[in-house]
Amino acid sequence: MKRPIWLKREHLRSIIFDDDTPAGRRFDIVLTIAIAVSLIILFIESSPSLPYWLKFSLGVLEGLLTVLFTIEYIARLYSAESRRAYALGGWGIIDLMAVLPPYLAFFLPGARYLLILRSIRFIRIFRIFRLFSFLNEGELLLQAIGRSFHKIAVYFLFVFVLVICLGTLMFIIESGQPDSAFRDIGTSIYWAITTLSTVGYGDITPATPVGRLLSSFIMLLGYTLIAVPGGIVTASFINTTNDPVRNGRCPRCDAKVRKGDKFCSQCGEKL
Amino acid sequence: MKRPIWLKREHLRSIIFDDDTPAGRRFDIVLTIAIAVSLIILFIESSPSLPYWLKFSLGVLEGLLTVLFTIEYIARLYSAESRRAYALGGWGIIDLMAVLPPYLAFFLPGARYLLILRSIRFIRIFRIFRLFSFLNEGELLLQAIGRSFHKIAVYFLFVFVLVICLGTLMFIIESGQPDSAFRDIGTSIYWAITTLSTVGYGDITPATPVGRLLSSFIMLLGYTLIAVPGGIVTASFINTTNDPVRNGRCPRCDAKVRKGDKFCSQCGEKL
Amino acid sequence: MKRPIWLKREHLRSIIFDDDTPAGRRFDIVLTIAIAVSLIILFIESSPSLPYWLKFSLGVLEGLLTVLFTIEYIARLYSAESRRAYALGGWGIIDLMAVLPPYLAFFLPGARYLLILRSIRFIRIFRIFRLFSFLNEGELLLQAIGRSFHKIAVYFLFVFVLVICLGTLMFIIESGQPDSAFRDIGTSIYWAITTLSTVGYGDITPATPVGRLLSSFIMLLGYTLIAVPGGIVTASFINTTNDPVRNGRCPRCDAKVRKGDKFCSQCGEKL
Amino acid sequence: MKRPIWLKREHLRSIIFDDDTPAGRRFDIVLTIAIAVSLIILFIESSPSLPYWLKFSLGVLEGLLTVLFTIEYIARLYSAESRRAYALGGWGIIDLMAVLPPYLAFFLPGARYLLILRSIRFIRIFRIFRLFSFLNEGELLLQAIGRSFHKIAVYFLFVFVLVICLGTLMFIIESGQPDSAFRDIGTSIYWAITTLSTVGYGDITPATPVGRLLSSFIMLLGYTLIAVPGGIVTASFINTTNDPVRNGRCPRCDAKVRKGDKFCSQCGEKL
């Protein structure tokens, strides 16, 4: 604790990475506001008809924020306990992506819009409100969805094939009409997805009686199909709560298992 | 019971606050009709092309109803068992908000529309039909939703970040088109929310093949994402019924608990 | 069995009301086809631009079918085991409603469209395919929905008040715009229902940034709210299967109950 | 193993039908790409405004692919263990349908679009990634849906009758308007399905206040009805996991059953 430069680094670290010191909390709040401001600037700048003075001042403000975020990234990198772990870890990469776009934009004009990745940093908002239990909930949610990933993947392959067939059928039926919106099979498949997902923009709609009959059938099908992922996810959520392992049973062979067991002693199922 | 002025107050109270006396029921029915009439007046008055005589008579009728509601509020305040408790309680504030707007409108023309808050008083309709068990159900419903609030909050933060990214992506793809409806990032984010929630107005629709491909992806994503809050709420509903505490187990550590226990004796979880 | 006139009535009854004799099945099939034809005639006749000869022949065909259905109704009434029970029972009234409209149309031109009530008779289709177990399923479905009726009623009252408030708010925000589709509060409430239910016609859409922001909020709200009735109904379905009574427990006080019990011996709950 | 022609057939079979040899895997990958290319050609060709050179080269490429698929089908038929079983089995018919359309198109121009059936062959993609466990999930999914088929059939008959009645009612209300989109009852029923399924194209929308009131009612109804298939499927999914047979109980009469039992010893229910 006698080396002043190390002390400084530790002090910086407590401000940047901690959230239980007053300085750390203040830092997090300022950072979240800065991110929000930088996003709002991006939104306003995207508008085509801006007066010159506004465009100019927004540009200046954005430059300032970029400098600030750059300093912040360097400070983070400098003060991190393990610089390597930070730079290559998930948050380190997100932080870097929040800094780089304006620099990349010198070479690649479109890169500016990568700034939007700053929105991911909003997730830090939990740190301000100390809502870590929320993040646990989020993890449980992801687990429940992840556990039903296999079923959902199969389901979407089925929907994919269905949508290709229905789109083509609709193209055959409707494309004969003058001024039909079903111009090609690609558009028809886009229409089938719009209908099956119950979005229904209405930019492409059937005009023939047969087309409307088929549409009605697709809508009622979508009505039922929309229930399937819901059923999968809900069953997964309920199984998280009614966990058979918790009830002392192997979920596969129904044999009794003990609390600490990692594998079923009868069938080897991972618990 | 000998003080006549107190008796009068108690009599008034039984009419206004009770619902098991014939007078009290008649009062509730008249009040509900008066609220409905006052809302219908507001709806009709909002129409831009009204003949003068109708506008005038509606204005008179509304003035009359306002006087009536004012008298009712004063009578409630006068006859309430505890005036303070009524005036500061939930229903007292709602009743006041149903009276004030026309007076506020003298100073602030827009305040008239606060009249719409009268619709909240409709919830009293349960009193007419003596459907208190319905209100219990409502409370259970709110509890179930409240218990899953953490999960839904995390979920919406995720949707929020997703919608910002997808909206910007769509803006980059579509804004190059002539006469594109994707005018700025804000509009594009609005479109992403419209699509992801399967509302699909159709005022903004993609025109490029790449935009339609991304849209299709967003729709199918929305199709799956729409299942998540459903799963959360349903799991919560079912857990209300299959309450582990009822089954004599702590929901956290699975230790046995007794019926009257308020906390788990092993881990301190509130039951 | 010697009275020939009674025999005839019994014979007629076996044809009309039974579905396990060949004659009875043939009768049901012919009847279902006749209903379908009469509905299709009604659909075609509703079209505004029909050639005279088609209009005329459809009219003749409909007259014929009406005579047939009239004879059928008289035959049913004549051959029913208890004429009173049939005439006043659910199916008897539906059968009568399928016959009357064309006669009523002499006095009231609009009455013709009551013919559509013939579609209810389609439910008899189960008799043709002997799918009575399907009707049991339907009853279970209605029971599950009926059991959650209280919760859904409370929920809709809440949605009703919400929609009135949001519609008015949107009217205040949008009605200032030139050529705004939000003409009056009634239209705005209609829009709010369209949005909250994720239907999203797109005939009325917000044009101001503030209106779009509020719309986005309403859409995400609808996204969550749409989950609630699903949760209620699903919980009800699962409880039908995981019936606590079946598991030998009272659903209210959790006391043990015996199989034949109609009421819980501890708390008097109807099982 | 000495008959060279048989050896060749077995060798071919291992390439075409196996997926655990390097040659077999390479064959599957090439085939999947060929299918994808042939579908993309079909999509591009459906566009009405193609330059001649592109149309020509796509035609040549498609001809080539057709020859390839024909050779593949003959090779499959030749090398199959049991030619009869392959030719008449599910995959054999799908493979044939992927080959025939271009030949049929000589006689029947529309037959070309049957090419879309090639998309079904995409399901073979699981073979490439060796995701057979996914197919098991798919089977479980189909089982869960199949088990609730009775309930869903009853539900759709109810929706069918409801939609006919609501569509006609809407036609009566709206058709009086000048330029009403509710031209005939068929169109009105199509509108009712569009609304009830929450698709909401917006090509047909109510214009009268009464029509909008009824629409609002239909939307809120659809909002609730959309929950029913979800509830049915979800309950079915959960019952797959909380299988009563697994818990040692007959799902029908609740009598105890043993693990190996195929039928309940008390009521004969198939387990």
Confidence class for position A243, pLDDT limits 50, 70, 90: very low
Task: Collapse the DSSP code of C270 into the 3-class scheme (helix H, G, I; strand E, B; otherwise coil) and give the result.
Answer: strand
The reported pLDDT for the residue numbered B218 is 92
Of A160, A162, A182, A161, nearest to A172 by C-alpha is A182
C148 in Cβ contact with B5 (< 8 Å): no
A248: left (phi over 0), alpha (psi -120 to 50) or beta: left
pLDDT at D244: 44
- Alpha-carbon distance of C95 to C107, in angstroms, equals 21
C255 touches chain B (CB under 8 A): no
| Runs of H (alpha helix) within A100-208 | 101-104, 125-128, 132-147, 149-174, 185-196
Q: Is the pLDDT of residue B234 over 80?
A: no
Sign of CA dihedral D156, D161, D162, D167: positive
Is 50 exceeded by the pLDDT of residue A93? yes
Contacting residues of C for B246, CB less than 8 Å apart: 254
* From B103-117, B229-243, D256-270, the region with the lowest mean pLDDT: D256-270
Shortest CA gap C138–chain A (Å): 17
- In three-state secondary structure terms, B256 is strand
Contact B193 C219 (CB under 8 A): yes
Q: Which residues belong to CATH 1.20.120 in chain A?
A: 5-130
Q: What's the average model confidence in pLDDT over C105-109?
A: 77
Q: Does A228 touch chain D (CB under 8 A)?
A: yes
Would you call A202 and C201 a contact, using CB atoms and an 8 Å cutoff? yes
Average pLDDT in the C5-25 region? 75
- pLDDT at position C245, please? 45
Which residue of B lies nearest to A234 if distances are taken between CA atoms? Answer: B231
Contact B193 C224 (CB under 8 A): no
Q: Using CA atoms, how far apart are residues C141 and C122, in angstroms rounded to an integer?
A: 19
Answer whether C171's CB lies under 8 Å from C184's CB.
yes
Q: What is d(CA B21, CA B15) in angstroms, rounded to the nearest whole number?
A: 7
Locus of tokens 């009257």: B260
The pLDDT of residue D259 is 55
The answer to whether residue B268 scores a pLDDT higher than 50 is yes
User: What confidence score (pLDDT) does residue C215 get?
Assistant: 93
CATH tag for D5-130 (out of 1.10.3470, 3.30.70, 1.20.120, 3.30.160): 1.20.120
The counts of H helices and E strands in chain B are 12, 0
- The tens digit of pLDDT for each residue in C141-187 reads 777 777 777 777 778 888 888 898 899 889 888 888 888 888 888 89
| Widest Cα–Cα separation across chain C | 86
Decide if A190 and B215 are in contact by the 8 Å CB cutoff: yes
SS3 category, B234 = helix
The answer to whether A194 and A219 have CB atoms below 8 angstroms apart is: no
Average pLDDT over residues B240-264: 54
Q: Would an 8 Å CB–CB cutoff place B201 in contact with chain D? A: yes
Structure token digits, residue C121 = 């008779």
Tokens of A63: 């430059």
* pLDDT tens-place string over residues A109-126: 777 777 777 777 776 666
User: How far is B16 from chain D, CA to nearest CA, in Å?
Assistant: 33
The pLDDT mean for chain C works out to 78
Chain B nearest C-alpha distance from D74 (Å):
36
pLDDT digits (tens, 9 = 90+) for C113-152: 777 777 777 766 666 655 556 666 667 777 777 777 777 7
Rounded to an integer, the average pLDDT of C78-90 is 84
Which pLDDT value is given to residue A261? 60
pLDDT in tens, B48-82: 778 888 888 998 998 899 899 899 888 888 888 88
pLDDT (average), residues C236-253: 55
- pLDDT tens per residue, range D51-77: 888 888 998 998 899 899 899 888 888
Least confident among C32-46, C246-260, D106-120: C246-260
Per-residue pLDDT at A213: 92
**How far off is chain D from B184, nearest CA to CA, in Å?**
25
Of B171, B184, B202, the CB nearest to A202: B202
> What are the structure tokens assigned to D181, written together?
């989109």
Q: What is the pLDDT of residues A132-173, one digit of tens each?
A: 566 666 677 777 777 777 777 778 888 888 898 899 889 888
Nearest CB to B235; choose among A133, A135, A241? A241
Mean pLDDT of A10-33: 81
In which residue are the tokens 């187990």 written? B249
Residue D184 phi/psi, 5-degree rounding, is -145, 175
Q: How many residues would you count in chain C?
A: 271
* CB-based contact, D178 to chain C, within 8 Å: no
Q: Which long-range contacts (CB under 8 A, 24 or more apart) does A116-121 make?
A: A116/A39, A116/A42, A116/B164, A116/B165, A116/B168, A116/B169, A116/B185, A117/B165, A118/A35, A118/A38, A118/A39, A119/A35, A119/A39, A119/B161, A119/B164, A119/B165, A120/A94, A120/B161, A120/B165, A121/A31, A121/A35, A121/A94, A121/A95
Residues of C in Cβ contact (< 8 Å) with B189 = 216
* Predicted confidence band of residue D215 (pLDDT cuts 50, 70, 90): very high
Tens of pLDDT, residue by residue over C17-40, are 776 778 888 888 888 888 888 888
pLDDT on residue C85: 87
Distances (CA, A) of C228 to A145, C159, D194, D239: 20, 11, 22, 21
Give pLDDT tens digits for D158-183. 888 889 889 988 988 888 888 888 88
What confidence category does residue C267 fall into, taking pLDDT thresholds of 50, 70 and 90? low
Q: In chain C, which segments carry CATH 1.10.287.70?
A: 134-242
Q: What is the mean pLDDT of chain A?
A: 78
Report the gap between the CA of C241 and the closest CA in chain B (Å): 12
Taking residue C227's Cβ as centre, other Cβ atoms within 10 Å add up to 27
Q: Which residue has the tokens 């209009």?
A: C55
Best of B169, B185, B241, B250 to disrupt the A interface (most A CBs within 10 Å) is: B185
- Looking at beta carbons, which residues of chain D come within 8 Å of B201? 202
Instruction: Return the CATH number of the domain spanning residue range A134-242.
Output: 1.10.287.70
D194 and chain A in contact, CB less than 8 A: yes
Mutation site for B-interface testing, chosen from C185, C193, C201 by largest number of B Cβ within 10 Å:
C185
A positions 26-65 inside 8 Å of B (CB): 39, 42-44, 46-48
Q: Could B201 and D198 be called an inter-chain contact, meaning their C-beta atoms sit closer than 8 Å?
A: no
Q: Which of B167-181, B234-248, D243-257 has the highest mean pLDDT?
A: B167-181
